[in-house]
Structure 1
Amino acid sequence: MTTKVELVEVGPRDGLQNERKPLDVDTRVDLITRLVARGARRIEAVSFVRPDRVPQMAGAEEVMAKVPRDPEVSYIGLVLNRRGAERAARTSCTEVNIVVPVTDAFCLRNQNLTVEAMLDHASAASQVARDAGMRVSLTLAVAFGCPFSGPVSVDQVERVLARAAESRPDEIAFADTIGVGVPRQVRALAALAATDARIRKLRFHFHNTRNTGYANAVAAARLGPAGGAVPGRVVALDASVGGFGGCPFAPAATGNIATEDLAYLLRGEGVPLLGPGVPDLEGLARVGSWLGDRLGSPPQGLLVRAGDFTPATRAGDGSTTED
C-alpha cells in the first residue's frame, strides 16, 4: 500500500455544531490548542455561517484571532457563499471548505437554494478564496444518501461533481452526511473522481450513525493509487475528537467517526499517515473526555473509554501475548 492518509480534525466545527450547549470562544480556542498539542495538523476550526442558524459557530473571527500560530498547522473555515469566503479571507484561515449538497431537497432545506444555484455560489466563493491565497476544498454533502429524498444514485453525484470540478478546487470531498454509506459506495464515488483529470485530491467525511463509518474509512484508505483512484497518492479523512458531531439540518445525523478510534485502526492496518505520523491517541482520548465534560455530553468514541492497546499496555496489565 503506497497511499497515505491525511487526518483532518473537524471536532471544533462539525463536532460542536449539533451540540445543544454552545461553547464560548475561549473554550473553543482551548479545544483547538489541545488538538494541536496532540498532533493535529489540519483542523476545520470554524464555520462562517449565520449565527442565528448555527449559534454553536458564532464568533468565528474571534476564534481565529486566538488560535495557536504554527506554520505546520492549516486551519480550515467552512463557508457556503461569497460572503462567507470574504469573512474567512480576513482571518488566519489558510483554507476554505465550501459545501454543496447533491440533492435539491437537502439544499433547499439547508441553504434555501437549488443545487445549481448553490454551485454558482460555490464558484464565487472559490474565486474569493483563491484571490486571498487560500486553498479550496469543495464538499459534496449527502453524496451517499439524503434524509429527505432517500438514496442518491452515482449518476446524480456525477452530474454535480462535473459542475463542481469546473472551479478546479484543490480537493473534492464526498460526505456521508447522515451515515448511511457502505464501502461499495466509497469505491464507486472514488471511481467517478478517477475519471476526471481536474480532481487533484480526494477527501471523505463519514458519520458512524449506522456503524459503517470506520468500514468506509478503511475502504477509502485502501483505494490505492493504481489507475489514478487516489490523485496525488493521498486521501484525506475527516474525523472528530471523541466522535462528537452531526448536522443540525439532517434528522438523526449522529456523530462523526472519532479521531482517536480512526488513528488506532489505521495504525493497526499499517496505513501510513501524512505529516508527523500517528497522533497521541491517549492524549486525544483525554481531549475527548475534556470536551464531553464541557458539553455535558459523553463522547461517542470508544478508545476514550477502553484506552489504547499496545504491547506496552498489555505488559502493564500483566497480560502476555499467549493470552
Structure 2
Amino acid sequence: MNMNSNFFPPLPEQVKIVEVGPRDGLQNESTPISAVDKIALIEKLDAAGIDYIESGSFVSPKWVPQMATSTEVFEKLNRKPGVTYAALTPNMRGFEGAMAVNATEVAIFGAASESFSQKNINCSIEESLERFAPIMDAAKSANIKVRGYVSCVLGCPYEGDIAPEQVATVAEKLYKMGCYEISLGDTIGIGTPDKVIKMIQAVSARVPMNKLAVHFHDTYGQALTNIYAALQMGIKVVDSAIAGLGGCPYAKGASGNVATEDVVYMLNGLGIKTGIDFQALLKAGWFISDKLGKPPISKVSSAYLANKS
C-alpha cells in the first residue's frame, strides 16, 4: 500500500529507477576508476535488482577521460538477462562504437538553454538536434531504442531561469525524432517543487506523461522534494546515481546526482515498488565510494554506516 489517501494526490504503485552512476556519475569524478571496478559496480547494481544501468559513454577520451574504458566495460561485462545496459552516444562515431560492443540501447542529449548548448557542445540547440538525425535513422534500422535527455530544464548557469515552454519545445522535438523516453534534467540542481510542477505541466502538454522521466541533481538539497513533486504529477521513471556520484563540469558548484539509496529509501517509505534489494544497493554504493576514496554523498547510506560502527 502506498501513501495515497484523500489528503494526498495519487502516487504511482511502481517506479522505475534508471541508474546513471557508472556513466553520468563517474564521468565527473576526478579519481580514475578502472574498467574492472566499473564492471564490478555494474554487476553489483544489477544484482541489487536495478534493471536499467547507464554503463558507459562513447565520447572522445580527450574530453571525458573517465569514459575511455567504455569499450572494455561493455565487452567484458557479465550481462544479466532482462537488464538494459545503455550508452550515451553524442554523435555517429559514438553510436557505431556502442553498436560494436552490443549496448542494449543508446541515449542522446539536448539542452533547454542556448548558452549551455554553445558552451557544452559548441553549437545551437537546433544544430545539436540536427546532428542526431543520422543516429536516429541508424538506430531505427538496427531496432535500437534511443532515450533522450534535456539538460538545464529548471535553470542554466549562464542564463538563469529557463522558461517551461522552452523545455517543452526541445522535449517535443526529441520525442518526435523517435526518442521513446525523455529525461528532464535539472543539471545544476536549482529547482524547487513549484518550478518542477510548472515545467512538467508544460512538457506533458506536448509529450505524453508516460514518456517522461526526471533527473535531479542535489546541489541545493532539493532533489528528493522535487522527485516527490514529480511523482505527484504522474512521473514513474526517476534517474539517480549510486552514492550520489557526479556533478556538472560546466556548472560551478553543481554537486552530484541524487543518490539512488536516498531515492529508494523514500520510495520504500511511500510503499512504492522498485524491485530493488536495498541492502545490496547500499553495498554497491560503499564499494564505489571506497574505490573513489571518499564517503558516499547519500545521507541514507552515511546513516547506515554510522549505525554499523
TM-score norm. by structure 2 comes to: 0.90
Q: Contact (CA 8 Å) 2:133, 2:177: kept in 1 or not?
A: yes
Q: Contact (CA 8 Å) 2:259, 2:297: kept in 1 or not?
A: yes
The structural deviation recorded for 1:200 is 5.2
Match of residue 113, structure 1, among 123, 142, 147: 123
Cα distance 1:257–1:197, how it changes in 2: closer, same or farther (>3 A)? closer
Partner of 2:70: 60
Paired amino acid for 1:247: C
Q: 1:270-304 CA deviation, whole Å, 9 max, x = no partner?
A: 2233xxx2x22222222212211111222100121
Distance 2:11 2:107 in 1: 26
Alignment of 1:157 with 2:158, yes or no, is no
Q: Contact (CA 8 Å) 1:242, 1:258: kept in 2 or not?
A: yes
Cα distance 1:176–1:2, how it changes in 2: closer, same or farther (>3 A)? closer
Q: 1:153-211 CA deviation, whole Å, 9 max, x = no partner?
A: 11221232332232131001110011011122222232233322577511111011100
The structural deviation recorded for 1:69 is 1.7
Paired amino acid for 1:252: G
**RMSD in angstroms over aligned alpha carbons?**
1.9
Partner of 1:290: 287
Distance 1:178 1:197 in 2: 23
Match of residue 169, structure 1, among 169, 179, 195: 179
Q: Select between 298-307 and 206-215 the one with higher mean Cα deviation.
A: 298-307
SS at match of 1:83: helix
Alignment of 1:85 with 2:87, yes or no, is no
Unaligned runs of 5+ in 2: 1-9
Map of 1:1-323 to 2, 5 A cutoff?
A: 1=10, 3=12, 4-196=14-206, 201-224=211-234, 235-273=236-274, 277=275, 279-307=276-304
Distance 1:60 1:209 in 2: 27
Cα distance 1:92–1:265, how it changes in 2: closer, same or farther (>3 A)? same
Distance 2:146 2:88 in 1: 10
Cα distance 1:145–1:67, how it changes in 2: closer, same or farther (>3 A)? same
Q: Contact (CA 8 Å) 1:17, 1:248: kept in 2 or not?
A: no
Distance 2:62 2:243 in 1: 26
Paired amino acid for 2:62: D
Unaligned runs of 5+ in 1: 225-229, 317-323
Q: Select between 118-127 and 137-146 the one with higher mean Cα deviation.
A: 118-127
SS at match of 2:55: strand
Paired amino acid for 2:77: V
Q: Contact (CA 8 Å) 1:17, 1:247: kept in 2 or not?
A: no
Cα distance 1:258–1:198, how it changes in 2: closer, same or farther (>3 A)? closer
Q: Contact (CA 8 Å) 2:172, 2:207: kept in 1 or not?
A: no
Cα distance 1:200–1:121, how it changes in 2: closer, same or farther (>3 A)? farther
Distance 1:284 1:114 in 2: 39
TM-score norm. by structure 1 comes to: 0.87
Identity %: 37
* Runs of 4+ with >6 A deviation: none
Q: Contact (CA 8 Å) 2:136, 2:178: kept in 1 or not?
A: no
